[in-house]
Structure 1
Amino acid sequence: MSSPSRSLSYLAVLSFPSAGRAFSAALLGRLSYGTVFLSLTLALATATGSYALAGAIIAMERLTNSLLSPMRAALIDRYGPHRTLPPMTVLYALLLLCLTVLTWRPGTSGGVLAALAIAAGGCAPPLGPVMRTLWSDLLPDRQMLHRAYSLDTVAEELIFIAGPLLAGLLAALTNPAAGVALSAALITLGVFAFVSSPAVRSARPTQTDIATGAAPQTEPGTDSALTAPRQRWTHDMGALILPVAASVAIGLCLGALSLLMVVFAERHHQTAAVAWAQAALSAGSALGGLAYGAISWRISGKTRLAVLAIALSLALAGAGVSPNLYILVVLAGITGLFVAPTLSTTYLLADEFAKPQHRTQAGAWVNTAFNTGDSVGTAAIGLVVDSLSLALCFLLAAIPTLLTGLMAVGPTRNRQDLWIKKS
């Protein structure tokens, strides 16, 4: 545990023993997820001659990835990242390389490509949840952990800006499939550098270790019926309702906003300019995340979540009354200020509420909830955007986070059952 007098800057977080190396390696691997989406979409479209088919394959791959992420995280919680991440990564990278070869030129069956893409989605290593669990292990001080999660969320935001740019550059200079091969190389280099770092090598599984026979950690006075892994996790999930619901809500809002900004730009006959609104949203999120992490908060995570979620709702609803694209860009940037802070707070709450043996799974559920909400939000707003005014659509998109903020104001159900880690 760090001394109270120690600086709690971002540099102090990265300077913590073994943290910087592990974080850098994880970022390298996670950059793969920033490049693979656009690269694989363009490669599949080139190979099949159909953007519709390419989109359907990508949708199935992302759905499989999201739904199976908690299961992969459960394996990591049980056996440790040093045992589970390498085989997942090798299989995932091999499948990406197969897709690279088969999409380099047109002619491969769409069914074969779909099967390979879905299989790749099913074994993609969940580096984000693993890194956040490692942060929790390395930084027992909650203020330092708060900064680390903010830094992690902002870095992930930047990855999903830089990744598509890199993929687009490769597609312009050479074959789009080269970006898929690059994604395979990035995840392989990143994961093997990550698991070889001292922080990961010294980490031990928190559930039953088959090799050593160590028993999982349990709470004193817990009924023996709750000691079965599945029952313990079901019991644990009740405490995660708030962060998971918040993550779904943020995904719903951002998924809807991404489509609404495009529709807004089209109706103002400035379709290409929508990139500025999207960039403002991302830039605002990065700035907001850095500012949020730099503050030593004295109010609880639940209270922060309530304030941030309601502020995000108000900013999003306000964007709907923009008279022109210039104002929309400004309001998108203001909305973005609350995105990364709200997300990092959900991760902090998930880590706080989950028992130690389920922390990676808890983070994976938050990820899955966000990705699912993002997809549903885009689809749902697409059903009504042609029949309702844009202002009303923006207002509807703001409702999920507003409800989450109100939910966070209320008391936590069964609070006495929560395993609150001591800092």
Structure 2
Amino acid sequence: MSAPLSTASERPTYAAVLRVPHVRRTFAASLVARLPYGTVSLSVMLSVTRATGSYAVAGTVLALFGATAVLLSPLRAALVDRYGPRRALLPMALLYAGALSLLAAVTWRPGAPALLPAALATAAGACAPPLGPTLRALWGGLFDDRRLVKRAYGLDAVAEELTFVAGPLLVGALVRYAPPAAGVALSALLVTAGTIAFVTSPAVPGVRPSAERPSRSKGRLRGARGLVEPVLVAGGVGLAVGALDLLVMAFAEQRRYGDDIVAWVLAALSAGSAAGGLLNGAVEWRGSPRVRLPLLGAGLGLAVAAAGFAPGLGVLAVTVICAGLFIAPALTTSYLLADESAPEGSRTQAGAWVNTAVNAGMAGGSAAVGALLGRLPLGWCFAVSGGVTLTAAMAALAAAAPARRR
């Protein structure tokens, strides 16, 4: 990669991040390519349900898509580290988009056999390009001031959060005029266009010369003990978010609120996360991020547990917003620590492991709460979810203690 494109004299603000040459183009392209994060799951669920007439089939297809996307993420990130973003990302994006396009065609009309959508969704998940980890791995090379790197991570966390708000709204508007499979096709188009724009940006390194490629042993994250803390906290954050989706729905159902209320409360969670991310990026923290990260995870766990005591919707919404304030800062700090802990040539993989922890935590949180609801009072379900997140944060604090002593 070329020399950093910023200067230390730049004032460390969000505007200063976007003034660095090529950053606006690269960042915007990555957001277009990552917008399918917010559109594809809902589109797949709706299109497969309509095509097969079965919620069970749709759930299985979505689970296969998510499992391959999450579990193979570190492997795909290793390919990016080894061969460079331009050489690795574009084939992945084209294969991913091709599988989604075929899935859209198969589910456009009712009557699709169950096995075909399942196979195509599995193939799509296996090829999903790790655009988020790749962009975050680039930040350290684009700025020579670590304060600007921190601002960039904060800006990225907030923008990614907003894709999960804008994506479902976009799908909701689209299905008024077209079959749900159109949302799957749109996801394929967005990831293709965004990835092409991303890899052709001057800020993105080209094909690595063979002499610069990391060896296979270096490409593995052996000895990267510093990753334990961010991965643990990220997993706890993901668990809390996955649990809250079902817990808020159960809260609304128990008190006979409408489904639209659930959407508004979960939107409040995203709004709180966005506000927390912007605040975290703007403040010059004096404490060590390795101490701050477990505290952020602990704050989230306590807020989730406290939400179980909410007597009504208003208090629940406020508590959920407070929980959201910890999400983006915890994830931003996790990504920063992962990047700092990664061996040379493995930075994309390090970010992918944090991503994997978040997504696995979300899946685990949803599954665990789904099993607990009906067996425990709702307040206890909130308490258990918050307690597990708090435990993950304390385990991360214990894991970081030897590093601090050294």
Shift of 1:402: 1.6
Q: For the residues of structure 2 that align with 1:277 and 1:356, how far apart are their CA atoms?
A: 42
Shift of 1:87: 0.9
Aligned match of 1:197: 201
Shift of 1:140: 3.4
Tell me, yes or no, if structure 1 residue 334 matches structure 2 residue 322: yes
Instruction: List per-residue Cα deviations over 1:220-263 (Å, max 9, x = no partner).
Output: xxxxxxxx634762523433111111111111111111111111
Closer, same or farther in 2 for the Cα pair 1:294/1:341, shift >3 Å?
Answer: same
Aligned-residue identity in percent: 50
Question: Equivalent residue of 2:222, what SS?
Answer: helix
Q: For the residues of structure 1 that align with 2:27 and 2:344, how far apart are their CA atoms?
A: 20
Q: For the residues of structure 1 that align with 2:374 and 2:75, how far apart are their CA atoms?
A: 38
**RMSD of equivalent CA atoms:** 2.0
The match for 1:403 among 391, 400, 406 is: 391
Question: Equivalent residue of 2:72, what SS?
Answer: helix
Q: For the residues of structure 1 that align with 2:381 and 2:166, how far apart are their CA atoms?
A: 30
Shift of 1:37: 1.1
Instruction: List per-residue Cα deviations over 1:2-41 (Å, max 9, x = no partner).
Output: 5554211111011112111100000011012211111111
The match for 1:254 among 234, 241, 264 is: 241
What is the letter of the counterpart of residue 264 of structure 1? F
Aligned match of 2:350: 362
Shift of 1:411: 6.1
Q: For the residues of structure 2 that align with 1:310 and 1:373, how far apart are their CA atoms?
A: 15
Aligned match of 2:220: 233
Kept in 2: contact 1:246–1:404 (CA 8 A): yes
Kept in 2: contact 1:251–1:377 (CA 8 A): yes
Question: Equivalent residue of 2:271, what SS?
Answer: helix
Kept in 1: contact 2:8–2:145 (CA 8 A): no
Aligned match of 1:283: 271
Aligned match of 1:68: 72
Q: For the residues of structure 2 that align with 1:143 and 1:168, how far apart are their CA atoms?
A: 39
Q: For the residues of structure 1 that align with 2:213 and 2:95, how far apart are their CA atoms?
A: 30
Q: Could you list the runs of 5+ residues in structure 2 that have no partner in the other structure?
A: none
What is the letter of the counterpart of residue 256 of structure 2? H
Q: For the residues of structure 1 that align with 2:155 and 2:294, how far apart are their CA atoms?
A: 21
Q: For the residues of structure 2 that align with 1:107 and 1:237, how far apart are their CA atoms?
A: 50
What is the letter of the counterpart of residue 85 of structure 1? L
Q: For the residues of structure 1 that align with 2:147 and 2:123, how far apart are their CA atoms?
A: 39
Question: Equivalent residue of 1:337, what SS?
Answer: helix
Closer, same or farther in 2 for the Cα pair 1:301/1:120, shift >3 Å?
Answer: same
Aligned match of 1:267: 254
TM-score (ref. length: structure 1) = 0.90
Shift of 1:85: 1.0
Closer, same or farther in 2 for the Cα pair 1:404/1:268, shift >3 Å?
Answer: same
Aligned match of 1:123: 127
Kept in 2: contact 1:320–1:390 (CA 8 A): yes
What is the letter of the counterpart of residue 145 of structure 1? V
Q: For the residues of structure 2 that align with 1:122 and 1:394, how far apart are their CA atoms?
A: 33
Question: Equivalent residue of 1:412, what SS?
Answer: helix
Instruction: List per-residue Cα deviations over 1:191-247 (Å, max 9, x = no partner).
Output: 0000111001xx257xxx5x533364xxxxxxxxxxx63476252343311111111
Q: For the residues of structure 2 that align with 1:140 and 1:347, how far apart are their CA atoms?
A: 18
Question: Equivalent residue of 1:240, what SS?
Answer: helix
Instruction: List per-residue Cα deviations over 1:123-158 (Å, max 9, x = no partner).
Output: 011111011111122123221111111111110110
Aligned match of 1:110: 114
Aligned match of 1:219: none
Q: For the residues of structure 1 that align with 2:8 and 2:91, how far apart are their CA atoms?
A: 41
Question: Equivalent residue of 1:47, what SS?
Answer: helix
The match for 1:242 among 221, 229, 233 is: 229
Aligned match of 2:38: 34
Q: For the residues of structure 1 that align with 2:84 and 2:213, how far apart are their CA atoms?
A: 15
Q: For the residues of structure 1 that align with 2:235 and 2:83, how far apart are their CA atoms?
A: 28
Closer, same or farther in 2 for the Cα pair 1:26/1:102, shift >3 Å?
Answer: same
Q: Which runs of 4+ in 1 moved over 6 A?
A: none
Aligned match of 1:81: 85
1:355-394 matched pairs, under 5 angstroms: 355-394=343-382
Closer, same or farther in 2 for the Cα pair 1:89/1:4, shift >3 Å?
Answer: closer
Closer, same or farther in 2 for the Cα pair 1:248/1:55, shift >3 Å?
Answer: same
Closer, same or farther in 2 for the Cα pair 1:84/1:231, shift >3 Å?
Answer: closer
Q: For the residues of structure 1 that align with 2:163 and 2:311, how far apart are their CA atoms?
A: 32
Instruction: List per-residue Cα deviations over 1:55-79 (Å, max 9, x = no partner).
Output: 1101111100101111110000000
Aligned match of 1:212: 210
Q: For the residues of structure 1 that align with 2:402 and 2:79, how far apart are their CA atoms?
A: 28
Aligned match of 2:186: 182
Question: Equivalent residue of 1:213, what SS?
Answer: helix
Aligned match of 1:319: 307
TM-score (ref. length: structure 2) = 0.94
Instruction: List per-residue Cα deviations over 1:339-384 (Å, max 9, x = no partner).
Output: 1111111111111111131110011111111111101111111212
